[in-house]
Amino acid sequence: MSMPYYVAPEQAMKDRADFARKGIARGRALVAIRYIDGVVIVAENASQSLRKVSEIYDRIAFAGVGKYNEFDQLRVAGIRAAELTGYQYSRDDVDARSLANDYAQLLGNSFTHGMKPMEVEILVAEVGGDGSQDEMFHIMYDGTVIDRPNVCALGGESEAIQTRLASEFRDAMSLAEALKLGVNALSGADRALDAQSLEVAVLARGDRRRCFQRVGRDDVASMIAG
């Protein structure tokens, strides 16, 4: 009988983390920024139909980078968890923090016990009654949850993008200002991004129950130009 090779736990975790990070770094990044009416999410995405950003519940949005089938599975799981809670109890009982915790459990479990870790990073954002109650949770491939108060970057080169965002962020920006900040942070100094390669959505406070809205490419183009 052959014995399996001994691999130190530190090494096994490092290998898994390297594997996940490599997968995530291959994809394009996305950012989320708080603005005066809520949260705007800007993703670099050439596809019009395969979405990275989507609606989870009345005040909650989801965004994912990395392997599409994996974060899409997480997106649907989030919608299910939210709808089941809302149906069983009340729509007011659905919140981003408990969703983020559930996601963290799922990702953490897959990282330590799965055949392979999931090659994704996800964002769960929620708008509150006013800006001070907005929340953004950045969840890593290993289940680490980071609470981001104002800005959040996910995906390849996310550290550089996060730094660019944090240095330029101001409270109570307009949608156009926040969008421009997001686009500039994503593109960096060396290249420009146009509306055709962007997917933009907002969680906007207002009279409507459902706060999630996509921003069309024409509107994005005019806001970037303006």
List all residues 6 or more positions away from 223 whose beta carbon is below 8 Å from its beta carbon.
175, 176, 179, 180, 215
Q: Which stretch binds another protein (CB under 8 A): 101-109, 130-138, 146-154, 174-182?
A: 101-109
To another protein, the closest distance from the beta carbon of 85 in angstroms equals 10
If one asks whether residue 71 binds another protein (CB under 8 A), the answer comes out as no
Indicate the residue type of 78.
Answer: G
To another protein, the closest distance from the beta carbon of 61 in angstroms equals 11
Q: Which of 12, 46, 76, 225 binds another protein (CB under 8 A)?
A: 76
Residue-by-residue DSSP string for 124-190: EEE--SSGGG-EEEEE-TTS-EEE-SSEEEESTTHHHHHHHHHHH--TT--HHHHHHHHHHHHH-SS
To another protein, the closest distance from the beta carbon of 10 in angstroms equals 29
End-to-end CA gap in the chain: 71
Residue 90 CA to residue 64 CA, distance in Å, equals 27
Q: Which of 33, 81, 186, 211 binds another protein (CB under 8 A)?
A: 81
If one asks whether residue 135 binds another protein (CB under 8 A), the answer comes out as no
DSSP 119: -
Interacting residues with another protein between 41 and 70 (CB under 8 A): 49, 51, 54-56
Question: By the 8 A CB rule, do 223 and 178 touch?
Answer: no
To another protein, the closest distance from the beta carbon of 77 in angstroms equals 5
Site for another protein, rule CB under 8 A: 49, 51, 54-56, 73, 76-81, 83-84, 86-88, 102-103, 105-106
